[in-house]
């Protein structure tokens, strides 16, 4: 894990030196163990390349593995992340490539040297890279399949820039807030498109590589989520067979994610995802586990975390988070994020990451399980509605038993149900789903949104998740996976990267190992949602690894924040001050009266409150 930045220019780069050094300096937290830069001579085509790298040393700690790394024929690369199949690739290439380090980054360099851009499809890991081939013809930048590692790019005159983070790039290039991207965030609190919060700065899409040559930018995908959806796979497999295969894949994934020359820790929330990872990690020598808890009744899951760590013989470090810690964390979150925080739980992640980083450079986390396995309640409503619609059309369906699951598990989600129903979800399940994931309404919320932009943003999201419509249970199933894995998951991974790298900590996510992702994506609906509860497939696969009370619990809270209690009590003064500060800002997209009205609303822990608090902390840091 590291920080990378650079540019390719068609003119004298001396004018770009000052903004680049500003950008590069603001990425230093991503790599506390060294930094390096490289500038090319003028190429035959008049291009000049500049690469910068901040190093977080994890694999091959020696100076020989410092970046930028040079290939034998003069190619250059900077890499952020880990290549988990590097040992196998190194063995495959050892007779064709003279390796000078034991780093996984050099393996990626070798693959690109030998196979060109098409070699990326051979690589399995979480990564972002920039590569200049030996002929100095172009700059190649690329990103892993799910967007675990961040990468952004922008034009600036006759140059094209890239960076691991968008905000430092925006500051260096003097870019303001993008109104379209703000509308995306206000509606859904995630990136609907490749835009960022800043004008002209874009994300490199997951599973894409971009080539820049003489100012021309060409993007191409090397992997597609759609190729692995069940509608394109037609797998025939039983729940028992799937559980056995998943169990084997999980063991392999955690083993490959242990690749490190430094000690590794693990997050153990007490939920099934992180607990299963922790149990496997303990078998491979991991000793330390971490969990955060809020200092409020009803927000403590450490009894389950203790059950897991006791069973696995892990040492558990409990990080207590009080109201003062939380609001100080809110300020810190605003200063590290490229976007306002996507959810109040990000502050807990940040504070836990700070503790972990005081002991480890690498931590394993459970991100990805709910998205891959459609474990959210919001995914149940459209599946149930479409199944009912097909039944009323006289089409025989066998789907009801597994899309409905444990109906008791829907208790407490009445507001979500009402929103789904009021948006016509039992006539158009996709419309109902889009209403449940909406964070701020186009009108009547705390923000003034351009009506045309708002319509455009919703249409763009709808076309991404349901390009062929959503008129069957299978199409709804595919649409939910496109949203959860293709849109929502990258927003979580963006937060995961920023809150860990703020302290020079690498977070790895074994559930998003390529073999697991491709296997689980292609599972038929009755297997993915088999059993009586969401994620029963994972529960069955983990049966021999976790305590029964963790496997059978029905009260997983997902690291919920006692924001409502704090906003009415010990944190009320801070909440009121933050909302007033936001209301006083002279910004066209702020509805000051609506912002001030949040503090008197019946539900202080509403999405509007969090959106306002996170936006104010983010603006205050810019």
Secondary element (H or E) of residue 4? strand 2-9
Residue 478 to residue 481: CA distance in whole angstroms: 5
Residue 488 to residue 342: CA distance in whole angstroms: 10
Find the mean pLDDT for residues 485-500: 96
Lowest mean pLDDT among 165-179, 490-504, 595-609: 595-609
**Domain spanning 2-223: CATH 3.40.309.10:** no
Distances (CA, A) of 452 to 456, 457, 459: 6, 9, 11
Q: Residue ranges of the alpha helices (H) in 343-488?
A: 345-357, 369-372, 380-392, 400-404, 414-422, 429-437, 451-465, 473-483
Q: How confident is the model at residue 459 (pLDDT cuts 50, 70, 90)?
A: very high
**What pLDDT, on a 0 to 100 scale, did the predictor assign at position 557?**
53
SS3 355: helix
Burial class (CB in 10 A: 0-12, 13-18, 19+), 3: buried
pLDDT tens-digit map of 362-389: 999 999 999 999 989 899 899 989 988 8
Q: How confident is the model at residue 622 (pLDDT cuts 50, 70, 90)?
A: confident
Joined tokens for residue 137: 């013809």
pLDDT tens-digit map of 276-307: 999 999 999 999 999 999 988 777 889 999 99
Q: Are strands 159-163 and 48-55 parallel, antiparallel or unpaired?
A: unpaired
pLDDT at 554 over 80: no
Helix-strand-coil percent breakdown of the chain, rounded to 5? 45, 15, 35
pLDDT at 253 over 80: yes
Find the mean pLDDT for residues 531-545: 88
Find the mean pLDDT for residues 444-455: 89
Residue 151 to residue 589: CA distance in whole angstroms: 27
**What pLDDT, on a 0 to 100 scale, did the predictor assign at position 395?**
62
Find the mean pLDDT for residues 433-448: 87
Q: 479-504 in b/e burial notation, b at 16+ Cβ within 10 A? A: bbbbbbbbbbbbbbbbbbbbbbbbbb
Q: How confident is the model at residue 397 (pLDDT cuts 50, 70, 90)?
A: low
Find the mean pLDDT for residues 87-112: 97
The domain locations on the chain are 2-223, 227-372+487-551, 377-481, 563-620
Tell me what percent of the residues of the chain surpass a pLDDT of 90: 75
pLDDT at 558 over 60: no
**What pLDDT, on a 0 to 100 scale, did the predictor assign at position 485?**
97
Find the mean pLDDT for residues 586-592: 89
Find the mean pLDDT for residues 413-430: 89
**What pLDDT, on a 0 to 100 scale, did the predictor assign at position 258?**
98
**What pLDDT, on a 0 to 100 scale, did the predictor assign at position 216?**
94
Residue 519's nearest CA partner among 234, 143, 249 is: 249
pLDDT at 196 over 90: yes
What are the residues whose beta carbons fall under 8 Å from the beta carbon of 561, sequence distance 6 or more?
294, 299, 326, 344, 345, 347, 348, 605
Other C-beta atoms within 10 Å of 122: how many?
A: 18
pLDDT tens-digit map of 84-99: 999 999 999 999 999 9
Strand partners, 45: none
Residue 545 to residue 445: CA distance in whole angstroms: 46
The position carrying tokens 């500060």 is: 581
Strand partners, 143: 128
Lowest mean pLDDT among 172-186, 492-506, 540-554: 540-554
Burial class (CB in 10 A: 0-12, 13-18, 19+), 328: middle
pLDDT at 178 over 60: yes
Dihedral class, residue 318 (left if φ above 0, else alpha if ψ from -120 to 50, else beta): beta
The position carrying tokens 């200063």 is: 335
pLDDT at 252 over 70: yes
Residue 569 to residue 324: CA distance in whole angstroms: 12
Phi–psi pair at 590, nearest 5 degrees: -100, 125
What are the residues whose beta carbons fall under 8 Å from the beta carbon of 339, sequence distance 6 or more?
185, 191, 196, 197, 494, 618
Find the mean pLDDT for residues 560-576: 87
Domain 227-372+487-551: homologous superfamily in CATH: HUPs (3.40.50.620)
Whether residue 311 contacts residue 283, with contact meaning beta carbons closer than 8 Å, is answered with: no
**What pLDDT, on a 0 to 100 scale, did the predictor assign at position 408?**
59
Q: How many helices (H) and strands (E) does the chain have?
A: 26, 17
Lowest mean pLDDT among 50-54, 102-106, 198-202, 549-553: 549-553
Find the mean pLDDT for residues 395-423: 71
Residue 233 to residue 450: CA distance in whole angstroms: 41
pLDDT tens-digit map of 309-352: 999 999 999 999 999 999 999 999 999 999 998 788 999 999 99
DSSP state of 233: T
Q: How confident is the model at residue 483 (pLDDT cuts 50, 70, 90)?
A: very high
DSSP state of 394: T
Whether residue 527 contacts residue 238, with contact meaning beta carbons closer than 8 Å, is answered with: yes
Higher pLDDT among residues 557 and 136, named by residue: 136
Give the chain's mean pLDDT: 91
**What pLDDT, on a 0 to 100 scale, did the predictor assign at position 58?**
97
């Amino acid at each position: 894990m590291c920080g990378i930045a650079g540019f390719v220019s068609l003119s004298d780069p001396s004018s770009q030196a000052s903004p680049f050094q500003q950008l590069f300096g603001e990425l230093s937290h991503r790599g506390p163990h060294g930094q390096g830069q490289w500038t090319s001579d003028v190429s035959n085509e008049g291009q000049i390349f500049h690469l910068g790298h901040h190093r977080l040393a994890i694999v091959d700690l020696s100076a020989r593995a410092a970046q930028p790394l040079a290939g034998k024929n003069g190619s250059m690369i900077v890499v952020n992340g880990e290549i988990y199949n590097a040992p196998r690739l190194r063995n495959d290439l050892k007779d064709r490539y003279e390796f000078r380090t034991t780093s996984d980054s050099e393996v990626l360099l070798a693959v690109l040297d030998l196979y060109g851009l098409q070699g990326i499809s051979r690589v399995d890991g979480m990564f972002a890279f920039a590569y200049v081939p030996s002929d100095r013809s172009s700059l190649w930048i690329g990103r892993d399949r799910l967007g675990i590692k961040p990468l952004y790019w922008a034009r600036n005159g006759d140059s094209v820039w890239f960076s691991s983070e968008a905000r430092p790039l925006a500051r260096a290039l003097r870019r303001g807030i993008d109104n379209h991207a703000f509308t995306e965030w206000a509606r859904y609190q995630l990136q609907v498109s490749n835009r960022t919060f800043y004008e002209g700065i874009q994300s490199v899409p997951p599973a894409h590589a971009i080539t820049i040559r003489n100012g021309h930018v060409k993007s191409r995908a090397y992997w597609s989520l759609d190729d692995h959806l069940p509608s394109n796979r037609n797998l025939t497999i039983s729940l028992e067979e799937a559980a056995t295969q998943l169990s084997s894949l999980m063991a392999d994934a955690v083993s490959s994610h242990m690749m490190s020359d430094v000690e590794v820790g693990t997050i153990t929330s007490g939920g099934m995802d992180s607990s299963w990872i922790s149990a496997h990690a303990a078998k491979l020598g991991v000793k330390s586990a971490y969990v955060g808890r809020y200092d409020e009744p009803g927000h403590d899951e450490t009894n389950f975390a203790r059950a897991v760590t006791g069973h696995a013989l892990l040492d558990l470090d409990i990080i207590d988070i009080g109201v003062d810690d939380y609001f100080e964390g809110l300020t810190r979150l605003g200063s590290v994020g490229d976007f306002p925080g996507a959810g109040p739980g990000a502050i807990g992640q940040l504070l836990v990451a700070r503790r972990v980083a005081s002991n480890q450079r690498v931590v394993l986390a459970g991100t990805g399980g709910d998205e891959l396995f459609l474990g959210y309640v919001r995914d149940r409503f459209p599946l149930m509605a479409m199944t009912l619609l097909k039944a009323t059309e006289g089409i025989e369906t066998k789907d009801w038993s597994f899309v409905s699951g444990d109906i008791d598990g829907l208790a407490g989600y009445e507001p979500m149900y009402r929103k789904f129903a009021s948006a016509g979800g039992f006539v158009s399940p996709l419309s109902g789903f889009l209403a449940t994931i909406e964070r701020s309404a186009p009108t009547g919320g705390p923000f003034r949104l351009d009506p045309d932009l708002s319509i455009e943003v919703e249409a763009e999201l709808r076309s991404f998740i349901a390009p062929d419509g959503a008129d069957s249970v299978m199409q709804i199933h595919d649409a939910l996976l496109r949203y959860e894995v293709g849109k929502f998951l990258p927003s979580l991974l963006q937060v995961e990267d920023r809150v860990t790298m703020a302290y020079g900590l690498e977070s790895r996510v074994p559930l998003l190992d390529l073999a697991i992702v491709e296997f689980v994506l292609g599972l038929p609906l009755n297997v993915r949602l088999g059993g009586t509860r969401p994620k029963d497939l994972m529960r069955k696969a983990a049966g021999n690894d976790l305590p029964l009370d963790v496997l059978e619990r029905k009260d997983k809270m997902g690291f919920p924040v006692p924001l409502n209690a704090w906003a009415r009590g010990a944190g009320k003064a801070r909440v009121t001050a933050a909302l007033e500060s936001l209301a006083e800002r002279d910004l066209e997209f702020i509805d000051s009266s609506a912002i001030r009205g949040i503090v008197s609303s019946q539900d202080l822990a509403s999405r509007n409150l969090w959106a306002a608090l996170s936006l104010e902390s983010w603006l205050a840091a810019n």
